[in-house]
Amino acid sequence: MEFIGNNFNILIEALFPKRCFVCNRLGAWFCLSCRTKLPRRNIRQCLVCGRFNYWQQLCSDCGGQQLNNLIASYNYKVVAIANGLKACKYHFASSVGEELGELLAEYWLAWREEASQAIVKPRWFNSNLLIIPIPLASRRARFRGFNQSEILAEILARKTNYDLDRHSLIRLHFKKPQAELSASDRQSNVLDAFKWTGTPLKGRNILLIDDVATTGSTLISAAKALKIGGAGQVIGLVLAHG
The full set of domains in the chain, from first to last, is 40-241 (3.40.50)
pLDDT digits (tens, 9 = 90+) for 36-81: 999 999 888 999 999 998 899 999 999 999 999 999 999 999 999 9
pLDDT at 182: 55
pLDDT at 162: 97
pLDDT at 4: 47
pLDDT at 183: 58
pLDDT at 21: 96
pLDDT at 7: 61
Listed residue (121, 150, 125, 124) closest to 135, CA to CA: 150
For the chain, list residues with pLDDT below 70: 1-15, 174-189
